[in-house]
């Protein structure tokens, strides 16, 4: 989004962030409707296959095995036309930032063979600490990439329906469905509120004013979106929704789906076996 | 047999009473307008008639059968009722929660377990009829206001309900879209269906209704044919449906006269 005044102030940054959030949601919907490899597969195969790879990465105790699962996820992303820059922006950078904050202390706190001493601080990076941090980072990045692949290659309603096939309770699936719409409504409402606020503001806001506005807006937003999401549920009920998801396209396993399922199972089993 | 009948119906939101001791009857095949200013209780009443809200006191009957939460717990009754009665919400955005326009229109028939071949056929027909076939792969909540309203209407009328409940169908629409919306509603069912419309837009009253119930503070304060209601200036002013509009002509002379709201943007009762 191009900002008119380029101030980069609180309001502008908030609006830009919300706009980016909405754009990401739309981009995921478009990508899920695309014609890549994973998009052609049955949603159940993707849920089972990607989840089994995540489990394999979590169970593996050899770094090269987790790295191989990560490489497989990247290959699947390329074959499914999911841009790598999207994976980098949404999975890798975020995982590095958040998990990095947990992994970095492990570099110094884990006892072991000293590899490097930080000049000035006298903190020592140990080989065991480096291994522990690498495991944590690689596992999180691999799991985030595989989860994002599911989001970018499967329409949300099909994911919900696939969950029901696996006997996940109706209430849980209905709550997930409502939550996704609620998040979008929250973003849209917040976007409108902040744009309206910006249209009535001149110049940069002081720190105290920004905090007051953030607190006030959060309360109003929560109340408005709560009412809106309640109305969405009523609108669903009014058209016959009883908690069960019914779709036009029934799941039907084709040859490609069986092949993919066998492939996922073989790869996950191999990863678990090799990573013992 | 009456289509809808309420007896001493009261509905409260915490301490606010939206509908109070309401007793009304609506006949089969009639076109009724629930007319009232913001907060008069008309949107709440529509939701009660659609079995979404249940009054704390009194009763509401649909074709002689009382609408209660217990009754709607029965799948057979709920499906039968939803098949017969459709509600178009005032804020189209809340009604659009599917990934594409096609899925949105197909949502109702699929929930009511129609055969899939029939769903596809009926959805295509509805998209053509409402002039939104070119939008079928678009994300519904990203459309313009007029397009959203059409999708919302198509998503209900695809079920071909015998009873249509409409909450401010022309709110927030530009004049051309308002006119198209009224034409669609007038054409729908060739006048054989029952249509109950909540509105404060008096300009469309004679097109969409044969009978008006004027609501104020959750009660019916007047009832009659649209022409009869529109002639009663004192009633319209008392219920905030018109106000003295002061303006200046080119001659420079200022004067005031009653002013009818047309196509105002309103959010909820």
Structural domain contains residue A93: no
pLDDT tens-digit readout, A92-102? 888 888 888 88
User: What is d(CA A182, CA A225) in angstroms, rounded to the nearest whole number?
Assistant: 7
pLDDT tens column, A169-202: 766 776 777 677 677 777 777 777 777 777 776 6
| CB half-sphere exposure, A250, CA atoms < 13 A | 6
Cα-Cα-Cα-Cα dihedral sign, residues B261, B263, B268, B269: positive
Q: What is the CATH number of domain B29-51+73-241?
A: 3.40.50.300
pLDDT digits (tens, 9 = 90+) for B50-66: 999 999 999 999 999 99
Domain that holds residue A223: 1-33+155-245
Question: Is residue B218 within 8 Å of B17, Cβ to Cβ?
Answer: yes
Residue B79's closest chain A neighbor by CA?
A240
Distances (CA, A) of A183 to A21, A213, A223, A225: 10, 21, 13, 9
* Among candidates A29, A188, A248 on the partner chain, residue whose Cβ is nearest the Cβ of B119: A248
Reading the block at residue A267, the tokens are 């790869």
Q: Average of pLDDT values for A143-152?
A: 90
Q: Residue range A74-86: average pLDDT? A: 89
In a domain, A130, yes or no: no
CA nearest B115 in A: which residue?
Answer: A248
Per the CB < 8 Å rule, is B139 touching A29? Answer: yes
Give me the residue spans of the domains in chain B: 29-51+73-241
Indicate the pLDDT class of residue A52, thresholds 50, 70 and 90: very high
Measured CA to CA in angstroms, residue B252 lies from A76, A154, B255, B259 at distances of 74, 65, 10, 20
Among A27, A44, A37, A20, which residue's Cα sits nearest to residue A74? A37
What is the distance of C-alpha A258 from the center of its chain? 27
Average pLDDT of the residues in A143-154: 89
CB contact under 8 A, B93 and A234: no
Can you say how many angstroms the Cα of residue B83 is from the centroid of all Cα atoms in its chain?
Answer: 17
Q: Shortest CB distance from B94 goes to which of A157, A235, A246? A: A235
Which chain A positions have a beta carbon within 8 Å of B47's beta carbon?
234
CA dihedral A118, A124, A126, A130 (to 10 degrees): -40
**What span, in angstroms and rounded, lies between the C-alpha atoms of A229 and A178?**
8
Q: Do B108 and A250 count as a contact with CB atoms less than 8 A apart?
A: no
Do the interacting molecules here have an ipTM over 0.90? no
- For residue B80, give both structure tokens: 């039968």
Percent of chain B with pLDDT over 90: 51
Give contacts of A 145-184 with B, CB under 8 A: 155-157, 181, 184
Tell me which residue in A157, A188, A240 faces B108 most closely, judged by beta carbons.
A240
For the whole model, what pTM was predicted? 0.69
Residues 6+ apart with CB under 8 A from A276: A61, A62
pLDDT at A116: 78
Secondary structure (H, E, C), chain B: CEEEEEEEEEEEECCEEEEEEEEEEEECCCEEEEECCCCCCHHHHHHHHCCCCCCCEEEEEECCEECCHHHHCCHHHHHHHHHHEEEECCCHHHHCCCCCHHHHHHHHHHHCCCCHHHHHHHHHHHHHHCCCHHHCCCCHHHCCHHHHHHHHHHHHHCCCCCEEEEECCCCCCCHHHHHHHHHHHHHHHHHCCEEEEEECCHHHHHHHCCEEEEEECCEEEEEECHHHHHHCHHHHHHCCCEEEEEEECCCCCEEEEEEECCCCCCCCC
Report which of residues B189 and B83 the model is more confident about. Answer: B83
Tokens 């599917």 locate to B98
Residue B247 burial class via C-beta count within 10 angstroms: exposed 0-12, middle 13-18, buried 19 and up: exposed
The answer to whether B147 touches B171, Cβ cutoff 8 Å, is no
In chain B, whose CA is at the least distance from the CA of A235? Answer: B95
Which of B219, B180, B183, B94 has its CA nearest to residue A237?
A: B94
Best probe of the A interface among B97, B100, B124, B138, by most A CBs < 10 A, is: B97
Q: Tokens representing A217?
A: 């807006």
Identify the residue with better confidence: A164 or B130: B130
Distance of residue B228 Cα from the nearest chain A Cα, in angstroms: 33
Helix (H, G, I), strand (E, B) or coil at A252: coil
Chain A residues whose CB is inside 8 A of the B99 CB are 29, 32-33, 155-157
Does residue A196 belong to any structural domain of this protein?
yes
The strand pairing partners of A26, in sequence order, are none
Count of domains observed in chain A: 1
B190-215 as b/e: b if 16+ CB within 10 A: eeebbbbbbbbbbebbeebbebbbbb
Burial group, residue A124, by CB count within 10 angstroms (0-12, 13-18, 19+): middle
d(CA B1, CA B215): 24
Q: Nearest residue on chain B to A180, judged by CA atoms?
A: B97
The verdict on residue A3 lying in a domain is yes
Name the packing angle between helices A127-153 and A43-59 (round to 10°).
180
- What number of C-beta contacts closer than 8 Å exist between A and B? 77
Rounded to a whole number, what is the distance in Å from the CA of B207 to chain A's nearest CA?
Answer: 26
State how far residue A250 is from chain B, nearest Cα, in angstroms: 9
pLDDT tens digits for range A107-118: 788 787 777 777
From first CA to last CA, the distance across chain A in angstroms is 48
Between A116-130, A134-148, B33-47, B127-141, the lowest mean confidence (pLDDT) is in A116-130
* Interface contact B99-A156, CB threshold 8 A: yes
With beta carbons under 8 A apart, name residues in chain B contacting A248: 103, 106, 110, 116, 119-120
Predicted pLDDT at B43: 92
Q: Is A147 exposed, middle or buried (0-12, 13-18, 19+ CB in 10 A)?
A: middle
Residue with the two structure tokens 């009818």 = B260
Residue B157 has pLDDT above 70, yes or no: yes
The winner for highest mean pLDDT among A37-51, A169-183, B247-261 is A37-51
| pLDDT band with cut points at 50, 70 and 90 for residue B7 | very high
The alpha-carbon gap from B117 to the nearest alpha carbon of chain A, in Å, equals 9
Q: CA triplet A209, A215, A218: central angle to 5 degrees?
A: 135
Please list every residue in chain B whose beta carbon sits closer than 8 Å to the beta carbon of residue A186.
none
Residue B71, pLDDT score:
94
Q: Do A248 and B110 touch (CB under 8 A)?
A: yes
Q: Which of A29, A231, A242 minimises the CB distance to B91? A: A231
Token pair for B246: 């002061």
Of chain B, the end-to-end C-alpha distance in Å amounts to: 30
The CA–CA distances, whole Å, from B264 to B66, B125, B201, B229 equal 35, 31, 7, 19
A190 to each of A18, A90, A185, A197, A214, how far by Cα in Å?
7, 21, 8, 10, 11
């Amino acid at each position: 989004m191009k900002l008119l005044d380029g101030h980069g102030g609180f309001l502008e940054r908030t609006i830009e962030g919300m706009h980016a959030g909405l754009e990401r949601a739309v981009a995921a919907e478009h990508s899920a409707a695309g014609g890549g490899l994973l998009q052609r597969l049955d949603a159940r195969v993707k849920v089972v296959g990607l989840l089994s790879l995540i489990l394999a990465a979590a169970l593996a105790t050899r770094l090269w095995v987790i790295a191989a699962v990560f490489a497989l996820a990247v290959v699947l992303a390329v074959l499914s036309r999911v841009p790598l820059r999207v994976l980098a922006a949404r999975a890798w950078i975020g995982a590095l930032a958040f998990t990095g904050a947990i992994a970095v202390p492990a570099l110094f706190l884990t006892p072991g063979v000293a590899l490097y001493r930080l000049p000035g601080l006298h903190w020592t990076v140990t080989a065991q600490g480096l291994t522990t941090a690498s495991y944590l980072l690689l596992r999180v990045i691999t799991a985030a990439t595989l989860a994002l692949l599911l989001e970018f290659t499967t329409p949300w309603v099909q994911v919900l329906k696939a969950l029901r096939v696996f006997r996940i309770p109706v209430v849980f699936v209905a709550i997930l469905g409502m939550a996704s719409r609620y998040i979008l409504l929250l973003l849209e409402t917040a976007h409108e509120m902040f744009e309206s606020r910006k249209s009535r503001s001149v110049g940069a806001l002081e720190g105290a004013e920004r905090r007051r506005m953030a607190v006030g807006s959060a309360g109003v937003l929560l109340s408005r979106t709560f009412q809106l999401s309640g109305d969405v549920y009523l609108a669903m009920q009014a058209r016959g929704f009883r908690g069960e998801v019914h779709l036009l396209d029934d799941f039907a396993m084709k040859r490609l789906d069986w092949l993919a399922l066998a492939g996922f199972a073989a790869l996950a089993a191999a990863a678990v076996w090799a990573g013992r | 047999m009456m289509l809808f009948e309420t007896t001493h119906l009261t509905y409260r939101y915490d301490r606010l009473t939206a509908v109070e001791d309401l007793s009304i009857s609506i006949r089969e095949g009639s076109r009724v307008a629930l007319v009232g200013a913001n907060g008069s209780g008309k949107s709440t009443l529509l939701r009660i008639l659609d079995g979404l809200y249940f009054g704390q006191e009194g009763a509401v009957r649909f074709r002689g059968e009382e609408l209660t939460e217990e009754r709607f717990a029965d799948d057979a009754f709920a499906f039968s009722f939803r098949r017969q009665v459709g509600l178009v919400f005032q804020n189209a955005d809340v009604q659009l929660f599917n990934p594409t326009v096609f899925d949105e229109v197909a949502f109702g028939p699929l929930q009511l377990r129609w055969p899939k071949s029939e769903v596809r056929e009926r959805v295509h027909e509805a998209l053509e009829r409402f002039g939104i076939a070119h939008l079928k792969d678009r994300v519904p909540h990203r459309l313009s206001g007029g397009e959203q309203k059409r999708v919302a209407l198509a998503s209900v009328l695809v079920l071909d309900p015998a009873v249509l409940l409409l909450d401010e169908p022309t709110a927030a629409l530009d004049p051309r879209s308002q006119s198209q919306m009224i034409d669609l509603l007038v054409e729908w069912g060739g006048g054989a269906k029952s249509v109950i419309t909540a509105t404060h837009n008096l300009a469309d009253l004679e097109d969409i209704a044969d009978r008006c119930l004027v609501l104020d503070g959750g009660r019916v304060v007047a009832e009659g044919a649209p022409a009869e209601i529109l002639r009663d200036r004192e009633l319209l002013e008392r219920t905030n449906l018109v106000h003295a509009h002061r303006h200046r002509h080119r001659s420079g002379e200022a004067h005031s006269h009653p002013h009818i709201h047309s196509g105002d943007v309103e959010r909820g009762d």
